[in-house]
């Protein structure tokens, strides 16, 4: 009994203290999590390791841009701290990291978390907590279409459907007699392209003569390419992630099939085209059409634009060791520019709801986007980027051709 | 063309009586189009078989490595694919530094042999007498370690790997294939022949077989059993490397390169009989062609269900005929 009473005497005060401390902490806590008079704390995840770690440099591009902004005085007097963590492209890890950042670090908002599945895994949670999930690095269509259900989530990338809509529009006007074959990844990503192309073709949707899908577990896509070739199509859409896109390009050359080929943006990095050319010769890649909405650091025609100059200047000072020709870094800066823009517009008196409101009233000329591509949002339009420049692979470089096409119009 | 157009015409239009007499009486042009289309079908079939053989020989080459380990220690080495990937990266590193392709290949083979022997001595040796499950778990651990290690050293970005064969396509009749495909098939068959000769015509090969099949007796005869096992690992690693070097130019090099292949290699090895090199090769080729044909001509399988089909083959073979097509049936006296 005595022992128990002693325990009681010790435990109760400790517990009471704990409760007091807890409530005291709560009363005195900053009314807006992650915002102090001098700092804004943002959280994010990128795959710095694991299968998609090539995207890791996006985070480095973002950090370089934030460092540049901070050196120039920050946003409304506050410096941005970006806590970017490695989720290895694994949604299970994203959930852990995001929860820890939300509940222990009390970040103000999440910015540019990467990956469709990774973002889906935390969307419900963040919206329940009313924490903004902004300018995320994925092109799935759901970010734009499900705003009513998830008001705190906003995408950034040109969505996969819009990309395919633009391909479809271009084909319908310029190649009205095309017979189209589609190679697509059998998931939301690939199916978005099929849906978009059908939409963009409009009355010409019957031009799609054959579709073949692959699973990410497939070793290669040669069999599918053979099927598509046998359909007699003269136009090919490759809606694939890099590895399979490169295989498809090489298969095209090995099968001596020369359709007019449209390639999904995610696989259009010059490194990938270079890999395909190395393996399949020029026939694998010559004349392939893709699209761009962010600037291409390897494109000579853009080198003298203010955006590219700023990009190189920032990298020289804040991103030593980063390869300026890597377009992922530039993409990161483009997203960071928009984040800063939204924070600025949200004003000095920062709250999460104000940030959301500002993010949904953007109309900016982002210097890192392709000239002519404007970034716009409104409460009824949650697709920040819906326009793109078509580009053609020519002698180891992407050449822009035709005007910027807008999927909205 | 006419035939194609007709099949595309909407059924409603036909039902509305909009059928022209032209459609009912196939003109000579239509007949020609019909035959052209038939030809297209045959061409597609042949093309699918050829590309199935090429993919199948990839499965076969890795399956051969699995079989070699199995023959020497009765265990499946789950890390076989990752070891092959890792050594392929080593070869890539050599070529990046300007070493000629064949020299890089030879150096990599030597390294992989020595590395695998060392691995067996250091990691497997202490648990040699442990239950099979322990060894299996250790190989799973090696799988994860080597995958992570490769990612850490070389990154996950896709790398193109130089092919020892020319890139230009070869045309034979209506079928097109690459010299790469032909090369993979040739190299796999050559490797099979060498393995066969090694095990059946050399003393060392015989000693290895003895050490695996009759451990106690072979020890009495003075065969250093431990080293025979290490040798088995070394040979399997060389075979795996060979597979990696053939595969990398086709599926491109990254740390996860072998993961999509190793499952099919398991299926191929099981199908052919897990202890039979001939079975591994035949199993790989049969699997490659079967998957292509099922994917192309059986609608409900399509291309979505390839992996389940591979697993179904593994399960089916194990249930119906555990020794596979060419394997030896094990009899245990009770």
> What is the average pLDDT value for chain A, to the nearest integer?
90
Q: What is the pLDDT of residues B97-134, one digit of tens each?
A: 999 999 999 999 999 999 999 999 999 888 878 888 89
Residue of A nearest to B174 (CA): A255
Instruction: Tell me whether strands A133-136 and A153-155 are parallel, antiparallel or unpaired.
Output: parallel
Q: Give the confidence band of A391 by pLDDT, cuts at 50, 70, 90.
A: very high
Closest CA to B37 of B52, B25, B26: B26
pLDDT at B22: 38
Residue of B nearest to A244 (CA): B251
Hey, are the CB atoms on A223 and B260 less than 8 Å from each other?
Answer: no
pLDDT at residue A156 is higher than 90: yes
On whether both A168 and A255 belong to a single domain, the answer is yes
Hey, are the CB atoms on A223 and B48 less than 8 Å from each other?
Answer: yes
On whether both A259 and A397 belong to a single domain, the answer is yes
pLDDT at B152: 87
Instruction: For B87-150, give the DSSP string.
Output: HHHHHHHHHHTT--HHHHHHHHHHHHHHHHHHHIIIIIGGGTTS-HHHHHHHHHHHHHHHHHHH
Q: What is the pLDDT of residues A290-324, one digit of tens each?
A: 999 999 898 888 999 999 999 999 999 999 889 99
Mean pLDDT for the stretch of residues B143-169: 87
Give the start-to-end residue ranges of the domains of chain B. 51-258
CA distance A46 to chain B (A): 14
Q: Find residue A375's DSSP bridge partners.
A: A364
Alpha-carbon distance A400 to A292, whole Å? 9
> What is the average pLDDT value for chain B, to the nearest integer?
83
Residue of A nearest to B150 (CA): A50
Q: Give the confidence band of B313 by pLDDT, cuts at 50, 70, 90.
A: confident
On whether both A111 and A227 belong to a single domain, the answer is no
pLDDT at A93: 94
Residue of A nearest to B257 (CA): A219
Hey, are the CB atoms on A256 and B176 less than 8 Å from each other?
Answer: yes
Mean pLDDT for the stretch of residues A198-225: 91
Q: What is the pLDDT of residues A85-136, one digit of tens each?
A: 999 889 999 999 999 999 999 999 999 999 989 999 999 999 999 999 999 9
Alpha-carbon distance B64 to B266, whole Å? 10
DSSP state of A41: E
DSSP state of B329: P
pLDDT at A106: 96
Half-sphere CA count of B68, side-chain side, radius 13 A = 30
Alpha-carbon distance B172 to B247, whole Å? 23
Mean pLDDT for the stretch of residues B170-187: 82
Contacts of A37 (CB under 8 A, 6+ apart): A77, A78
On whether both A280 and A307 belong to a single domain, the answer is no
pLDDT at residue A176 is higher than 70: yes
Which residues form the domain of A178?
A: 161-292+391-406
Between positions 264 and 303 of B, the ones with CB within 8 A of A are 264, 291-292, 295-296, 302-303
Residue of B nearest to A277 (CA): B160
pLDDT at A11: 53
On whether both A113 and A206 belong to a single domain, the answer is no
Mean pLDDT for the stretch of residues A52-75: 94
Residue A68 counted as domain residue? yes
pLDDT at A96: 96
Q: What is the pLDDT of residues B73-98, one digit of tens each?
A: 778 899 999 999 999 999 999 999 99
pTM for the whole thing? 0.79
Q: Is B249 exposed, middle or buried (0-12, 13-18, 19+ CB in 10 A)?
A: buried
| Chain A CB within 8 Å of residue B45 CB | no
Q: What six digits make up the tokens of B286?
A: 């049969």
Q: Give the confidence band of A261 by pLDDT, cuts at 50, 70, 90.
A: very high
Q: What is the pLDDT of residues B18-48, one digit of tens each?
A: 333 334 344 455 556 556 666 667 878 888 8
DSSP state of A302: G
Q: Is B158 exposed, middle or buried (0-12, 13-18, 19+ CB in 10 A)?
A: buried
Distances (CA, A) of B93 to A101, A327, A334, B85, B188: 39, 24, 34, 12, 24
pLDDT at residue B7 is higher than 50: no
Using an 8 Å CB-CB cutoff, list chain B residues near A281: 167-168
Hey, are the CB atoms on B44 and A226 less than 8 Å from each other?
Answer: yes
pLDDT at B33: 58
Q: By mean pLDDT, which of A254-263, A393-402, B39-48 is the weakest?
A: B39-48
Contacts of A292 (CB under 8 A, 6+ apart): A265, A268, A370, A388, A389, A391, A398, A400
Contacts across the A-B interface (CB distance below 8 Å): 124
Mean pLDDT for the stretch of residues A39-65: 91
Residue A308 sits in a domain whose CATH number is: 3.40.50.2300
Residue A385 counted as domain residue? no
CA distance A211 to chain B (A): 11
pLDDT at B30: 53
Q: Which H/E stretch holds residue A313? A: helix A306-318
Which of A51, A246, A279 faces B156 most closely, judged by CB atoms?
A: A51
Mean pLDDT for the stretch of residues A256-265: 94
DSSP collapsed to 3 states, A239-267: ECCHHHHHHHHHHHHHCCCCCEEEECHHH
Structural domain count of chain A: 3
CA distance A210 to chain B (A): 12
On whether both A58 and A146 belong to a single domain, the answer is yes
pLDDT at residue B142 is higher than 70: yes
Residue A386 counted as domain residue? no
Mean pLDDT for the stretch of residues A354-380: 95
More confident residue, A133 or B306: A133
Using an 8 Å CB-CB cutoff, list chain A residues near B167: 253-254, 279-281
Q: What are phi and psi of A14, to 5 degrees?
A: -60, -45
| Chain B CB within 8 Å of residue A219 CB | yes
On whether both A52 and A111 belong to a single domain, the answer is yes
Instruction: For B169-235, give the DSSP string.
Output: EEEETTEEEEHHHHHHHHHHHHHHHHHHHHHHH-HHHHHHHHHHH-HHHHHHTT--HHHHHHHHHHH
On whether both A184 and A271 belong to a single domain, the answer is yes
Residue of A nearest to B297 (CA): A227
Using an 8 Å CB-CB cutoff, list chain B residues near A243: 158, 251-252, 254
On whether both A151 and A48 belong to a single domain, the answer is yes
Mean pLDDT for the stretch of residues B314-319: 86
On whether both A397 and A258 belong to a single domain, the answer is yes
On whether both A139 and A204 belong to a single domain, the answer is no
pLDDT at B179: 81
């Amino acid at each position: 009994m005595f022992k128990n009473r002693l325990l009681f005497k010790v435990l109760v005060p400790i517990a009471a203290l704990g409760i007091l401390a807890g409530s005291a902490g709560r009363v005195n806590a900053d009314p807006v999590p992650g915002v102090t008079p001098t700092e804004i704390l943002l959280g994010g995840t990128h795959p710095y390791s694991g299968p998609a770690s090539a995207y890791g440099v996006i985070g480095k591009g973002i950090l370089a841009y934030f460092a540049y902004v901070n050196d120039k005085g920050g946003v409304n007097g506050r410096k941005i701290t970006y806590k970017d963590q490695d989720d290895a492209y694994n949604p299970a890890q994203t959930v852990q990291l995001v929860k820890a950042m939300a509940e222990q670090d009390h970040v103000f908002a999440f910015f540019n978390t990467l990956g469709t599945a990774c973002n889906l895994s935390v969307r419900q949670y963040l919206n329940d907590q009313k924490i903004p999930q902004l300018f995320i690095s994925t092109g799935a269509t759901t970010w734009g279409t499900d705003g009513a259900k998830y008001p705190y989530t906003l995408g950034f990338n040109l969505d996969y459907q819009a990309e395919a809509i633009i391909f479809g529009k271009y084909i319908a006007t310029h190649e009205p007699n095309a017979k189209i074959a589609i190679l697509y990844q059998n998931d939301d990503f690939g199916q978005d392209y099929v849906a978009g192309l059908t939409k963009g073709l409009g009355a010409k949707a019957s031009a799609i003569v054959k579709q073949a899908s692959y699973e990410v577990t497939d070793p290669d896509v040669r069999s599918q390419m053979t099927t598509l070739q046998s359909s007699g199509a003269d136009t090919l859409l490759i809606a694939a992630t890099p590895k399979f896109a490169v295989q498809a390009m090489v298969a095209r050359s090995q099968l001596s099939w020369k359709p007019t080929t449209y390639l999904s943006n995610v696989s259009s990095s010059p490194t990938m085209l270079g890999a395909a050319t190395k393996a399949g010769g020029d026939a694998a890649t010559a004349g392939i059409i893709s699209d761009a909405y962010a600037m291409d650091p390897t494109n000579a025609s853009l080198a003298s634009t203010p955006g590219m100059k700023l990009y190189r200047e920032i990298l020289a000072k804040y991103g030593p060791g980063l390869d300026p020709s890597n377009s992922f870094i530039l993409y990161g800066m483009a997203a960071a520019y928009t984040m800063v823009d939204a924070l600025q517009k949200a004003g000095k008196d920062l709250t999460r709801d104000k940030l959301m409101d500002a993010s949904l009233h953007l109309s900016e000329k982002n210097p890192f986007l392709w000239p002519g591509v404007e970034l716009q949002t409104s409460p009824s339009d949650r697709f920040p980027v819906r326009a793109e420049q078509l580009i053609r692979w020519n002698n180891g470089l992407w050449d822009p051709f035709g005007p910027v096409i807008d999927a909205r119009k | 063309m006419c035939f194609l157009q007709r099949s595309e015409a909407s059924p409603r239009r036909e039902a509305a009586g909009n059928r022209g007499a032209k459609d009912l009486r196939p003109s000579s042009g239509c007949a020609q189009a019909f035959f052209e289309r038939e030809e297209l079908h045959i061409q597609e079939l042949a093309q699918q078989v050829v590309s199935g053989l090429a993919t199948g020989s990839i499965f076969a080459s890795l399956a051969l490595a699995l079989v070699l380990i199995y023959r020497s220690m009765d265990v499946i080495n789950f890390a076989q694919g990752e070891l092959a990937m890792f050594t392929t990266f080593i070869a890539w590193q050599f070529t990046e530094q300007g070493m000629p392709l064949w020299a890089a290949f030879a150096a990599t083979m030597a390294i992989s042999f020595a590395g695998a022997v060392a691995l067996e001595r250091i990691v497997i040796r202490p648990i040699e007498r442990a239950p099979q499950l322990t060894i299996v778990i250790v190989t799973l651990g090696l799988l994860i370690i080597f995958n992570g290690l490769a990612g850490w050293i070389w990154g996950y970005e896709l790398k193109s790997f130089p092919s020892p064969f020319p890139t230009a396509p070869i045309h034979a009749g209506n079928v097109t294939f690459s010299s790469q495909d032909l090369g993979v098939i040739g190299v796999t068959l050559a490797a099979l022949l060498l393995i066969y000769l090694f095990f059946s015509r050399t003393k060392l090969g015989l000693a290895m077989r003895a050490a695996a099949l009759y451990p106690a007796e072979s020890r009495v005869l003075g065969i250093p059993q431990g080293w025979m096992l290490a040798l088995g690992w070394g040979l399997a690693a060389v075979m795996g490397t060979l597979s990696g070097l053939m595969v990398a130019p086709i599926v491109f090099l990254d740390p996860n390169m072998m993961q999509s292949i190793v499952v099919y290699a398991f299926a191929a090895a099981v199908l052919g009989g897990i202890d039979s090199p001939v079975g591994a090769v035949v199993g790989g080729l049969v699997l490659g062609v079967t998957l292509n044909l099922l994917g192309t001509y059986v609608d409900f399988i399509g291309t979505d269900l390839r992996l389940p089909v591979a697993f179904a083959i593994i399960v089916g073979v194990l249930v119906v005929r555990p020794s596979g097509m060419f394997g030896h049936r094990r009899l245990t006296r009770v």
